[in-house]
Amino acid sequence: MPDDDWRRDRIGNAHRGTNPTVLRRLDTGFAVIGDRQFLPGYSVLLTDDPAVTRLSDLPRPRRAAYLADMERLAEAVERACAQLDPAFRRVNIEILGNTDPYLHAHIWPRYDWEPEDRVGRPVWLYERECWHGEKHALGPHHDTLRAAIGAELDRLGGAQRPPG
């Protein structure tokens, strides 16, 4: 990935078209592919308003729309990963909010090839090397995966391509 400055303001850079992880603009936020791909297809739904810190900050209609976008991204990841890897099992969806101060939902694909001691457990228990370093960093070798998730979002409707 180029200059990492966009990471300091992921949502602002998504609005400006300078967040390179953006797959599509959805109704209430941005579908982005994760910076780390130790589970290929890992994606995140970022809120489009950085002042929103939790789901309950949203009025009910907007909350329902955010959850619909989250479900749409999860289905797109599920379809794309199932097409690309026969060992795909399912997706896990999490809204945690323990680190980043804005609303975001994690979409984690899970696979049969995962180590037995990890497959039935939360992804947060994966080793430190999965979260840091270059081995699992998002890069050009993930372009097919990015395109597949984006195409599925397009098929499901309500998605806008990022500029550029």
For the stretch 43-92, pLDDT in tens is 999 999 999 999 999 999 999 999 999 999 999 999 999 999 999 999 99
22 forms beta bridges with 32
133 pLDDT tier (thresholds 50, 70, 90): confident
Q: pTM of this prediction?
A: 0.94
For the stretch 20-39, pLDDT in tens is 999 999 999 999 999 999 99
Q: Which architecture does CATH list for 4-156?
A: 2-Layer Sandwich (3.30)
The span from the CA of 107 to the CA of 73, in Å, is 8
The span from the CA of 120 to the CA of 66, in Å, is 27
What backbone phi and psi angles, to 5 degrees, belong to 88? Answer: -60, 140
What share of the chain has pLDDT > 70, as a percent?
97
Q: Where are the domains of the chain?
A: 4-156
Amino acid at 155: R
Q: Does the pLDDT of residue 164 top 80, yes or no?
A: no
The span from the CA of 5 to the CA of 86, in Å, is 36
- Number of C-beta neighbours around residue 87 at 10 A: 11
Q: Does the pLDDT of residue 163 top 80, yes or no?
A: no
The span from the CA of 122 to the CA of 125, in Å, is 6
